[in-house]
Amino acid sequence: MAAVTFNKVEKSFGKFKIIHGISFDIADGEFVVLVGPSGCGKSTLLRMLAGLEEIGAGEIAIDGRVVNDVDSKDRDIAMVFQSYALYPHMTVRDNLGFSLKLRKADPALIGERVVNAARILNLDALLGRFPRELSGGQRQRVAMGRAIVRDPKVFLFDEPLSNLDAKLRVAMRAEIKALHQRLKTTTVYVTHDQVEAMTLADKIVVLRAGHIEQAGTPDDVYNHPVSMFVAGFIGSPTMNFTRGRIGEDASSVSLHDRQGDTVLPLTAERQARYAAHAGREVVVGIRPEHFAPAGAEPPQLTAVVDVVEPLGSDTLVFLTFGDGEIVARVPPATPAAPGQPIALRIDVGQLHCFDPVTERVI
Ligand code: ATP
């Protein structure tokens, strides 16, 4: 087990700078997820940590040792890829033990480690099979087993679940989490899937075009996003953004709509936060789950329903509001029909205001 440090790490491919001076720490035993849209540089960061890509500038340290010039095989890390990368002509047993065999480890030790990994991952019955005789989920478990057998200081995962169907992805996600809870090995996990990031991470690092946009616990990035980018990336359906204005005394915020403004009272905490921004035009962010049917209470927002999507556990209602559409997540029994108005209340303690120009939170 080991801590990992990225210190002002940079990377260019030819003329193009891809990573712009990234610094963050990963504590011993921590599960860190690098998340961001396609092309933001998350795989490149992981590959630099793995030693598969040269570090352009700055330093990466594992367990206090700068590894910039250390060969990949001497970094004591194990990587699990999206493609599994199993040896097709070897049985599961041989795939699991191969890296130790290459290192000329004692056969008794190899046998012990293979049996142990197979037990942890429920592969005991499959040790004699070849990769072609396994399902996608089983192959991914073998790939994880191969990493476990090496007993590395750090596990690296690069989109390991992308090739699996939706149901298997959920099951494997839970297995990876259970594995980390059991082994407590420092883990760096790359994904573009914000649900994987939220469910697995101790710490999420949200990347945008080679910069860190925000790093924090899942609670931090979900409930306290620093920008519209993070607010829009983490959470599904995504946070609603609509134009508004903080009231002259900062006791309320009004949402602009063609039918007239909707005025929402602000909580004491939000009033204190927005006091210095009274009268300012903002983008107001409201998550779908922070709407609720008004029921017998006076509605705070009334809008016409465009589309109703029942999900079983709850229902998504798409409404025309402001310059576009907003989505509310409501209980399944809520009466809602296309073309009809719906009356909603908003959890005003949970709304966010962003600067319309910088898109940073206020
Ligand atoms: P994805 O989710 O699509 O895999 P990513 O966030 O992992 O994206 P990277 O693979 O790290 O992104 O790539 C970051 C940027 O660097 C992209 O613009 C990509 O085109 C570029 N890039 C990556 N590898 C190379 C390379 N070997 N040569 C040139 N450009 C590269």
DSSP codes of every residue in 39-103: TSSHHHHHHHHHTSS---EEEEEETTEE-TTS-GGGS-EEEEETT----TTS-HHHHHHHHHHHT
* Enclosing H/E stretch for 313: none
| pLDDT value for 164 | 78
| pLDDT value for 246 | 96
Residue 272 CA to residue 279 CA, distance in Å, equals 14
CA distances from 329 to 209, 221, 301, 313 (A): 31, 20, 14, 10
| pLDDT value for 1 | 64
Ligand 1 lined by 82 (C-beta under 6 Å): no
* Bond preceding residue 237 cis, omega within 30 of 0: yes
Based on C-alpha coordinates, what's the Rg of the chain? 25
What residues does 34 pair with on adjacent strands?
190, 205
Ligand 1 lined by 227 (C-beta under 6 Å): no
Ligand 1 lined by 44 (C-beta under 6 Å): yes
Q: Which two tokens stand for residue 361?
A: 């939170």
3-state secondary structure of 210: coil
Ligand 1 lined by 192 (C-beta under 6 Å): yes
Q: Which two tokens stand for residue 339?
A: 């073309």
Rounded distance from Cα 18 to ligand 1 centre (Å): 8
Q: Which two tokens stand for residue 306?
A: 């465009």
Residue 189 CA to residue 17 CA, distance in Å, equals 23
Residue 128 CA to residue 150 CA, distance in Å, equals 20
Ligand 1 atom closest to residue 53's alpha carbon, by position in its atom list: 27
Rounded distance from Cα 206 to ligand 1 centre (Å): 16
Residue nearest (by alpha carbon) to ligand 1 atom 7:
43
Give the pLDDT means over successive 10-residue stretches in the chain (362 positions). 93 94 96 95 95 95 94 90 86 93 89 89 90 89 88 91 82 88 93 92 96 97 97 94 94 90 92 94 97 91 94 95 92 92 94 96 96
Report yes or no: 112 and 96 within 8 Å, Cβ to Cβ.
no
Helices 92-102 and 136-149, interaxial angle, to 10°?
30
3-state secondary structure of 167: helix
Classify strands 281-286 and 352-354 as parallel, antiparallel or unpaired: antiparallel
Residue nearest (by alpha carbon) to ligand 1 atom 10:
43
Q: How many other C-beta atoms are found inside a 10 Å radius of the C-beta of residue 19?
A: 26
| pLDDT value for 26 | 97
Ligand 1 atom closest to residue 190's alpha carbon, by position in its atom list: 7
